[in-house]
Amino acid sequence: MKKKNLTHILLASVLLSLSALSGAQPMPVPVMEVINGNAKAWKAAQPTLRDAIECRKPLKHTAEVRSVFRSTNNSLDGDHAFPEPLQVFGTLNVSSVAVFEGGEEEGNSYTVEFKGMKLADVAKAAKLRKERQGSRYIREVKGGHLEADEINGKGVQLSCILGGYSDD
């Protein structure tokens, strides 16, 4: 009798699962493209991402950028890996970007890392100059600045910082 009850419970569970699956609706295509980050979106997003990393323009919230970032909303904050390396400043390859979009007081920043590279090489490619005091390299841009610094001898971090208020 116990075996018969177990069989009924198991059969009921299987049937319930199958009925739930058969009633499931497919995801809309735009949501699937955002989740999958397709090649067409990556190609279209590259100039926008390059402009932000090179500190030419703030990062635009295009459908292609959201697709590459696998974002289903308009928030782009966070660390985002690229499907393949993106070339910036003509010679440097990056494989991810950390995005911070703050309010008026905090501003926005786009940070990339170059593992195993020398600070002087990154600074030269990005046309940065060494600060008078300190180890950073920097270049003023419209609405902010671009800066590079070493990461504990493991590479270089380059950040585009736009907007925000400064205590300087």
User: How many folded domains does the chain comprise?
Assistant: 1
In a domain, 154, yes or no: yes
Q: Which of 89, 88, 86, 87 is nearest to 127 (CA)?
A: 89
Backbone angles phi, psi at 77, to 5 degrees: -60, 145
In a domain, 102, yes or no: yes
Tell the residue number behind the tokens 């075996």, with chain if given: 3
Number of C-alpha atoms within 13 angstroms, CB side, residue 75?
A: 5
pLDDT in tens, the chain (168 residues): 455 444 544 444 444 444 444 444 444 444 444 445 489 999 999 999 999 999 999 999 999 999 999 988 888 999 999 999 999 999 999 999 999 998 778 899 999 999 989 999 999 999 999 988 877 899 999 999 999 999 887 899 999 999 875 554
| Domain region containing 34 | 27-162
In a domain, 8, yes or no: no
In a domain, 131, yes or no: yes
Q: Name the token pair of 50.
A: 């390059």
Give the C-alpha separation, 163 to 144, whole Å. 6
In a domain, 14, yes or no: no
Give the C-alpha separation, 156 to 136, whole Å. 10
